[in-house]
Amino acid sequence: MRKQLTLIGVLLLLVFLIFGCSAAENKSSEKGAPQPPAENWSDETGIKKLTETLIAGMTLEEKIGQMMFVGIHGTALTENTKADLSTIHAGGVILFDRNMENREQVKALNHSLQSFASSTCKVPLFLSVDQEGGLVTRMKNAAYHAPSATDISATGKPENAYLHANKTGQDIKELGFNLDFAPVLDIGNRMSGRTYGTSPQQVAAFGEQACRGLRDSGILFTIKHFPGMGRSETDPHTDRSIVNVPKETILQEDLLPFRQIIDQYPSHQFMVMAGHIRYPAFDTKPASLSPVILKELLRNQLGYRGIVVTDDLNMGAVAEGYTPEEIGIVAIQAGTDILLSCHDPEIQKRTFRSVVKAVRDGRISQAEIDASVRRILYCKIKNLTNADKRKVLFEQVTAKK
């Protein structure tokens, strides 16, 4: 009997040891098992993953909205303006003097616009202004008013272009902007002081310093008006403009300042604004509507991989001959990423609806739209958000699924 009890005790002890060790091993295994790595929202992998996640969760209308950059009316965000922006899911807003009374009011307006975007599409807005200096300065009495490009170049010191651009960038950043539609890299002396000179080398030297000054201030910049409108004898705001010179002249001279920036700066730090000038040596269409100039020249030959934005599509140089329904489609087919429409909300809506319809009809491919939206979202995430905001945004987007 005593032997039987001893045997039973030994068996129980063995059972305890076996199952106890097994459970401990399982717990140890669970603790030590390789877990999926936490996203590092500060690196390229995290930024690209968030970009693709956002694209995958967007409707067609939301994607087209990211490609719409619009002007608004009034000095405060009204319910009517909210409705207009919501209708087209606008991804960017540009302000003019009509929107700007004083510094505190502009700060409040930009803050309300960004807050509204955060509550609707979640993705930050591009908030822009044309702050070139000289004649093209918004809110001259209350904002930093840099000298004109021509006056800066007259000093003979490119570092002055850096100084004034950097001060401009800091000033508009304080007002809530994140993008300046500047500097002008056109060559010539017919643009009311907006150019750095008549020599390609001079414009390249001063223009590069202006770009660097804006970049260092934390502001996205825009080089314009590709491929150069300084030779135009008419104002594209009102009239059809033509630059009738040989292709070699454009390639060797006018493109030099643009090529320098494209070669030296990461493409997510700036945009290229396409002008509305016609260059018969390349195409019969304005540059902003020309696949020869935007796809073959800018993308393929110069290797630019960033965002292409049109000049205002309401300008006389392009509005003539195109309805609002047609112009957005032609611009996107040509290789544009962002359609700039500065003044009339109804025209903005007509352009938006026509582009949506063109994608559904197959006149614009979904792949083209996704490529543009990918460039836009990557730029926004890279420049307008930090790691904490990216994490929150990812969680918000994935929570919907």
Active site residues: 237, 311
313, 323 Cβ separation under 8 angstroms? no
CA distance 211 to 264: 11
Residue 248 CB neighbours (<10 A):
9
How many residues does this entry show for the chain?
Answer: 401
In the chain the first and final C-alpha atoms are separated, in Å, by 67
135, 192 Cβ separation under 8 angstroms? yes
